[in-house]
Amino acid sequence: MDKILLMLQLQLQLNDATNGEKWRNGKTKTGNPINWKRCIYMECAEMIDSFSWKHWKNLNQAPDWANLQIEVVDVWHFIISLALEEYAKEMKGEIEELALNLSALSNFAALHNKNVQHGTQNEIITKVENIMLLALQKEPFEIEEIVAEFFDLVLLSGLDLDTLYRLYVGKNILNQFRQDHGYKDGSYIKEWDGQEDNVVMKRLWDEDADMQPEVLYKKMAKIYLPLTQR
């Protein structure tokens, strides 16, 4: 439960900082609508592009597993944001109760086992499309159902709770970094010397398993700031 609670707390802090403290009512600080379900199914569509699924192109191209895992973490940001919003709107309980309920799901225990095995392309795409269908579903809506499907997807993607948590923290720091460096006004540079910032972040994490999040932020700044001087 500890890692689930920590991720929920980090997402709460990020959403407060990015969208204002009324985001759980479905509005940004400037009054624009927030639709977490749409975020989920649109990000899921991007996830499918990690595979060569188009029958009119090269179907023998190898899957981009690294990109898939990053997209899985992106979807997780939106799913737990939806969960936090849902619990607040429906007065289901505080963040600790949400963490307990998600940790009590029947397939959560499997995430504790170290996992490096991927599912097949068809298994993963089917699971992703199940999540999309749930996100497109009208009321009644059960957040626990979509989280349970997501936990299956985590395992099919070659992740486990530790690797999900690690990538989530890395992406959370990257999202903060983006906000601090002009992401909203369009001045942020997403390509860092030919590599997307997601890829750079993951490489830095992989190089030092014991690195603290604040050190990751500083290392990204050391790479990024020279780009802004060109």
Quick check: 171 and 74 in contact, CB under 8 A?
A: yes
SS3 230: coil
Could you tell me which of 202, 184, 179 has the C-alpha nearest to residue 192? 202
**Please, what is the angle between helix 65-89 and helix 143-156, to 10°?**
160
Quick check: 88 and 98 in contact, CB under 8 A?
A: no
Q: Output the CA torsion sign for 18, 19, 20, 25.
A: negative
- Between CA 16 and CA 18 the distance in angstroms is 6
- Between CA 200 and CA 197 the distance in angstroms is 5
pLDDT at position 1 is 61
Q: Output the CA torsion sign for 13, 19, 20, 23.
A: negative
Could you tell me which of 47, 75, 67, 149 has the C-alpha nearest to residue 106? 149
pLDDT at position 18 is 85
Kindly list the domain boundaries of the chain, sorted by start residue. Answer: 2-166
Contacts 24+ apart (CB under 8 A), 115-121: 115/155, 115/158, 115/159, 115/160, 115/163, 116/158, 117/158, 118/63, 118/65, 118/156, 118/157, 118/158, 119/155, 119/156, 119/157, 121/51, 121/53, 121/63
Per-block mean pLDDT, blocks of 10 residues, the chain (230 long): 88 89 87 94 94 82 89 96 92 91 95 91 96 89 93 96 92 88 90 90 85 89 90
What φ, ψ does residue 217 adopt, rounded to 5°?
Answer: -60, -45
- Between CA 36 and CA 146 the distance in angstroms is 13
The CATH superfamily assigned to 2-166 is Type II deoxyuridine triphosphatase (1.10.4010.10)
pLDDT at position 210 is 79
Report the predicted TM-score, pTM, of the whole model to 2 decimal places. Answer: 0.87
pLDDT at position 57 is 80
pLDDT at position 205 is 85
Angle at 85 between CA 81 and CA 88, to 5 degrees: 140
pLDDT at position 55 is 83
For tokens 């997501």, the residue is 150
pLDDT at position 134 is 95
- Between CA 33 and CA 41 the distance in angstroms is 17
Joined together, the tokens standing for residue 93 give: 């309980």
CA trace torsion 115, 120, 122, 123 (10° rounding)? -30
pLDDT at position 74 is 93
